[in-house]
Structure 1
Amino acid sequence: MATDFGFTTWGADIVRIAEPITASVPNASAPSARRIARNNGVTLEIDGRQVTARVHRGGEASVARLEIAAMESAVVVALREEMGSRTEPDDTVHAALRARGLRPAAALEAADCSCRARKTMCVHVLAALYALAALVDHAPSTVLGMQSGQGSADDADTDAVDGPPPRWTPIAALSVRDYYVAER
């Protein structure tokens, strides 16, 4: 049987988020999520490190949001050295980074879904991860852009140094005095 998701090492890293090797039992939602992704039931929108997935399953639709962690600056520097003038990283670049003791794999920083499942890895989040893995398999530079928060791998170290923008506004950052003031 051919592997639909994760046939490159870059895509396999995304599949490992959905199917961690540390899991003691397989996720019962995974086959359904793979079916949804395989049948084009997921529409992905990538904006920096944020991935919004519109997941259609039967007569219902949900929105899953994924936030990919920023790549470490040491990995960015080594990645540029290994890639040289190439624009797309391949499995040999991944293997060379691993041989240096670096971890180029994408990591999930946060995930949520609009469904009622009340668990982080619902079928919609899993389907989004499988669809993302398929996209990364065909265009590995996509994952580099997501990990950098930029659209290309050339600007990969800017967010690693500055850090990602805050995901939420802390309540202490709001001005109590102006909270109920109406703007005209």
Structure 2
Amino acid sequence: MIAEFGATAWGHAWLRTAEPTRVTRPNPLLPRARKLSRDDSVTGLTIVPGLLTATVGAHQVQITVPHWPAETLTLVATLLADLPPAAPGDLPDTLATTLHRAGVEIAPPPDSLLTQCACRDRRPHCLHVLTTLYLLVQAVDERPALAVELRGPVITGPADADWVPLGEVSVAGFYG
């Protein structure tokens, strides 16, 4: 059976942000948050380095994610540069394992996230924040590079010299 949330090592790391393993009792909001994320109740999901925003129903959610320290960004950039070419947005689970062994947290601890939601619930991880986190987990499972992009701007060096943006190709000149 394939996991619906956290199918990759990258997504699983972010799943632990929504479902921490060190809890004293189950969170009753989790089943409803998973359902809302499955039912397309989230619109306008935006992921940029250090920030995740979305609209869940009528509620605006903003989650600020701490960047990795400079030495971690350098390590990640070095490891990414050593990887063989892959599909855009894809990262091997072995890289996640390497980072974990090096003491690098792919996803930050839940209490380090700064969350804002317009709902009346005063918990930092309200239903809407949890729903957004579950949607993030699904997005990271589909495109693991998001896990790296969210933690900070990682510069991986020059682009492939043979790659040309499609918009720069002259149709008339290409086909002669």
User: In 1, Cα distance between the equivalents of 2:105 and 2:75?
Assistant: 10
Q: What are the ranges of 5 or more consecutive residues in structure 2 without an aligned counterpart?
A: 158-176
Conserved? CA contact 1:75–1:97, under 8 Å: no
Looking at structure 2, the residues matched to 22 and 104 of structure 1 have their Cα atoms a distance apart, in angstroms, of 16
1:77 corresponds to: 74
Q: How far did 1:155 drift?
A: 6.3
The separation in 1 between residues aligned to 2:71 and 2:26, in whole angstroms, is 34
Unmatched runs of 5 consecutive residues or more in structure 1: 157-184
Counterparts of 1:77-116 in structure 2, within 5 Å, are: 77-83=74-80, 84-85=82-83, 86=85, 88-100=90-102, 102-107=103-108, 108-116=112-120
Structure-2 residue corresponding to 1:65: 62
Q: CA RMSD in A?
A: 2.0
Identity score, percent:
28
On the 8 A contact 1:69/1:109 being kept in 2, the answer is yes
| Structure 1 runs, 4 residues or longer, greater than 6 Å off | none
Provide, for residues 76-114 of structure 1, a one-character-per-residue CA deviation record: whole Å limited to 9, x for no partner.
2222332224463221001112223x2232224301211
TM (norm. structure 1) is: 0.73
SS in 2 for 1:154: coil
Residues 78 and 156, structure 2, Cα contact 8 Å, conserved in 1? no
Asked whether the equivalents of residues 62 and 115 of structure 2 are also in contact (C-alpha less than 8 Å), the reply is yes
**Which amino acid is 1:132 matched to?**
L
Which one has more relative contact order, counting CA pairs under 8 Å at least 6 apart? Answer: 2
Q: 1:80, 1:50 → 2: CA distance? A: 20
CA contact (8 A) 1:75 1:104 kept: no
* Other-structure match for 1:31: 31
Alpha carbons 1:89, 1:140 under 8 Å: kept: yes
Q: Which residue of 2 aligns with 1:117?
A: 121
Residues 41-99 of structure 1: CA deviation (Å, up to 9, x unaligned)? 1121123311111012xxxx211110111012232222233222446322100111222
Q: How many Å separate the matches in 2 of 1:35 and 1:116?
A: 20
Say how many residue pairs are matched.
148
Contact 2:100–2:106 under 8 Å retained in 1: no
In structure 2, relative to structure 1, the CA distance for the partners of 1:9 and 1:70 (3 Å cut) is same
User: How far off is 1:23 after superposition?
Assistant: 0.7
Q: Could you tell me how far apart the structure 2 residues matched to 1:76 and 1:50 are?
A: 17
